Structure 1
């Protein structure tokens, strides 16, 4: 069972974490401004203690405090070592052991929903493969993940970044000379040239498999972005479910293309 918000058993260790971070980083004023906290926090005799004790009917408020603190810590100390890394690791341990529904984002600069471990590994592997080929692809994929699973999800941004992640790796491979390459162009190229490409896996006869699965996955991602253009008869906001599906699909496509699993014969 995962716990949303800040349940009683996590109150003390999480609030103490914020206090310890606040003693090392100048963060209280920025957190208060970001979250529009009441002026009594900053005007108190001990603003850090007042921030640690902030309470509200909004069960997510202190989670937002932690999210903002992580962003400040990462900006001040983004290295994989040092105090910032130590504090991120400590918080991650607390949230994991305490069964929190939240965990630290892949970049370490905020909180996101805890997702099934297989998806997280798939995302990490896709990012690593993408960055070896095209660094922007990894950044887009991480942004898509955070927009889909962050504490304040933005489905439209998640879907858009998922598409950009696939474009970043697929355009140079399949549309190297196109002046304005897009995922739609990749889709058309692969769809019309199915006999020119193969997958890394074998079909039932032991020959290299066709690329139907890759084409259909790209079709799904391309056609599913219903807010790409406004005013059309099928235009619609991107749902949370659609955004999460897009991130899953993009991670798989980015991994396949980056590793050369979809290639010319």
Structure 2
């Protein structure tokens, strides 16, 4: 929840075209000790939470000791330290309270300079510790960051794309869209589930607009209707095509026909790939936004 920028140390400027190209998977050597220290400090004096995390990780502990948990996980697979963090964020109800109810506090420096925050988490709070974790992961070049809404780790995504998706998630189709996002960028991606949820998100947004009186409608039926009755619909951008919905129909068709995992056992069936899921979830966010904001509408003559 802190500001991000594209600053790079002097020796790396000009050598990496984007920050994402430098992102590191797993737990690189320089992150091992800081991550272990963070986990142990966060779980200190929380034996119940430590015990639950150990159970989730299938780690047998003599006592609910965070240090023992950390070393046991690291001895098994260093990358699983990220899973420990993921589980901690998901299970800690105290953190949930701070994020969803208590919230950050106004700062005394608010308004003095544009780089000073207007709000901050109280010193010693769990949210402040998680904010420190998020900064640590960013500084270490990790491919993962904190998902503050789902209270877990997610794969680092371009900030502009993430903001656009977040806006779409606040709409009626947001439940499906957020599930697609987590299945795409979470610690354990599930591309087929992500694609399924992306389809459901667009259906939830499009069907009430295009086929409001129908039953058992699908995105395929929405696609067919827009193709057959294109003269009845328009887009907010008129352009040189008088607001033709042909571009919209093409995008919906791309998403629908690319859903190869929906017919198990069929000749074209296969699991969706990760790159397909990523494209699908961002395309779905755009389509959800269009349908929910009136960018797709009946022509006035209709």
Q: Decide: shared fold, TM above 0.5.
A: yes
Question: What is aligned with 2:111?
Answer: none
Quote the offset at 1:3 in angstroms.
1.8
Cα RMSD, aligned residues only: 2.0
SS in 2 for 1:238: coil
Bigger Cα Rg:
2
Distance 1:14 1:208 in 2: 56
- Preserved contact between residue 74 and residue 84 of structure 1 (Cα < 8 Å): no
- Alpha-carbon spacing, 1:140–1:170, altered in 2? closer, same or farther (3 Å): same
Please give the per-residue CA displacement for 1:116-135, whole angstroms capped at 9, x wherever unaligned. 2232122112223x2xxx2x
| TM-score, with length taken from structure 2 | 0.77
- Alpha-carbon spacing, 1:216–1:56, altered in 2? closer, same or farther (3 Å): farther
Please give the per-residue CA displacement for 1:61-88, whole angstroms capped at 9, x wherever unaligned. 1111111111112586253427443333
1:13 aligned residue (34, 39, 64): 34
Unaligned segments of structure 2, at least 5 residues: 1-21, 105-124
- Between 1 and 2, higher relative CO (CA 8 Å, sep ≥ 6) is seen in 1
SS in 1 for 2:74: coil
2:212 aligned residue (168, 171, 176): 176
Count of aligned pairs: 253
Distance 2:184 2:94 in 1: 22
Please give the per-residue CA displacement for 1:94-138, whole angstroms capped at 9, x wherever unaligned. 21222211012252421111122232122112223x2xxx2xx11
Unaligned segments of structure 1, at least 5 residues: none
SS in 1 for 2:262: coil
Establish whether residue 147 from structure 1 lines up as the match of residue 183 from structure 2: yes
Q: Which moved more, 1:141-150 or 1:26-35?
A: 26-35
Distance 1:163 1:106 in 2: 24
Distance 1:217 1:74 in 2: 41
The structure in which a higher percent of residues are helix is 1
